[in-house]
Amino acid sequence: MSVRLLPDYLINQIAAGEVVESGASVVKEVVENALDAGADQIIIDVVDGGRTLINVVDNGSGMSREDLACAIQRHATSKLPDDNLMNINFMGFRGEALPSIASVSDMTIDTCNGTDKNGWHMDCNTLEIRPSDWQTGTRIRVANLFSKTPARLKFLRSDRVETMAVLDVVKRLAMSRTDVGFVLNNKWRFPKNQPLMDRIVSVMGEDVRGNMLVVDAGSGSTQGMRLTGYISKPTLRRASSVDQFLFVNGRPVKDKLLISSLRAAYMDVMHAREFPLCALYLTLPSENVDVNVSPTKNDVHFLEPTHVRAFIIKSLRQVLGTTMVGFGNLSGGVENNGHFIETNIETPKTENHFEHCVCQPKDNLTLGMFGNAISPDFEKSNYIKSEQPKTSEVDDVFAAHPLGRVIGQIANKYILATTGDNLVVVDQHAAHERITYEKLRNHTIKIQPLLTPIVVRMRTEDINAVLTILDELRDSGLVLDSFGDDAIAIFEKPADWDMDWGAVLHDIADEVREYGHSSQLKERLHLKLANHACHHSVRAGQKLDFDQMDALLRSIERTEHGGECNHGRPVYKFIPITQIDTWFERI
pLDDT tens digits for range 266-324? 988 888 788 999 999 999 988 888 877 776 677 888 888 888 998 999 999 999 887 65
Q: List Cα–Cα distances, 168 to 139, 252, 483, in angstroms.
A: 21, 11, 49
pLDDT-derived band at 343, boundaries 50, 70, 90 = very low
pLDDT tens for 86-123 read 666 667 666 678 888 888 899 999 999 988 999 999 99
453 band by pLDDT with thresholds 50, 70 and 90: very high
The 3-state DSSP class for residue 578 equals helix
Would you list the DSSP string of 121-177?
EEETTTTEEEEE---SEEEEEEESTTTT-HHHHTT---HHHHHHHHHHHHHHHHHH-
Q: What is the pLDDT of residue 355?
A: 35
Is residue 365 within 8 A of residue 375, CB to CB? The reply is yes
d(CA 260, CA 256): 6
Residue 86: its pLDDT value, please? 60
State residue 72's pLDDT score.
Answer: 86
Of the listed ranges 26-35, 164-173, 362-371, 388-397, the one predicted with least confidence? 362-371
pLDDT mean over 467-492: 89
- Work out the average pLDDT over 251-260: 90
Quick one: pLDDT at residue 347? Answer: 30
Residues sharing a CB contact under 8 Å with residue 105, sequence separation 6 or more, in sequence order: 26, 142, 143, 144, 145, 146, 147, 148
Burial annotation 122-151 (CB, 10 A radius, 16+ → b, else e) = bebeeeebeebebeebbbbbbeebbebeee
% of the chain exceeding 70 in pLDDT: 81
User: Do 311 and 225 form a contact (C-beta atoms < 8 A)?
Assistant: yes
Whether pLDDT at 424 is above 90: yes
pLDDT more than 90, % of the chain:
42
Average pLDDT over residues 39-58: 95
18 pLDDT higher than 80: no
Residues 10-33 have a mean pLDDT of 80
**Per-residue pLDDT at 455:** 94
Q: Do 331 and 340 meet the contact criterion of CB atoms below 8 Å apart?
A: yes
Q: What is the pLDDT of residue 149?
A: 80
For the cut 80, the answer to whether the pLDDT of residue 131 exceeds it is yes
With H, G, I as helix, E, B as strand and everything else as coil, classify residue 250. Answer: coil
pLDDT band at 222 (very low <50, low <70, confident <90, very high): low
Quick one: pLDDT band at residue 76, thresholds 50, 70, 90? confident
Lowest mean pLDDT among 6-10, 86-90, 171-175, 211-215: 86-90
Whether 393 has a pLDDT exceeding 90, the answer reads no
pLDDT, residue 358, reads: 37
Asked whether the predicted pLDDT for residue 51 surpasses 70, the reply is yes
Q: Which pLDDT value is given to residue 172? A: 95
| 356 alpha carbon, distance to own chain's centre | 40
User: What's the confidence (pLDDT) of residue 381?
Assistant: 37
Give residue 550's pLDDT: 92
Q: Which of 40-44, 157-161, 170-174, 276-280 has the lowest mean pLDDT?
A: 157-161
Reported confidence tier of residue 147, pLDDT bands at 50, 70, 90: confident
pLDDT attached to residue 107: 94
What residues contact 396, with CB distance under 8 A and at least 6 apart? none
Confidence grade of residue 535 (pLDDT, cut at 50, 70, 90)? confident
Q: What value does the mean pLDDT take over residues 391-405?
A: 66
Domains in the chain and their CATH numbers?
Answer: 8-190 (3.30.565.10), 196-320 (3.30.230.10), 353-441+540-583 (3.30.1540.20), 447-533 (3.30.1370.100)
Q: Is residue 414 over pLDDT 60?
A: yes
> Which has more confidence, 343 or 224?
224
Give the pLDDT score at 13: 66
Q: What is the mean pLDDT of residues 464-474?
A: 88
Tell how far CA 171 is from the center of its chain: 16
Among residues 519, 486, 485, the alpha carbon closest in space to that of 504 is found at 519
Segment holding 200, helix H or strand E? helix 196-204
Question: φ, ψ for residue 207 (rounded to 5)?
Answer: -70, -10
pLDDT at 398: 60
Instruction: Determine the Cα angle at 556 with ends 554 and 559, to 5°.
Output: 120
Task: Output the pLDDT for position 2.
Answer: 74
Point out the least confidently predicted range of 55-69, 164-178, 337-351, 424-438: 337-351
CA-based nearest residue to 57, from 108, 106, 95, 129: 108
* C-alpha to C-alpha distance for 455 and 157, rounded to whole angstroms: 50
Question: Residues of 309-321 as b/e, b for ≥16 C-beta within 10 angstroms?
Answer: bbbbbebbbebbb
Helix count and strand count (H, E) for the chain = 17, 24
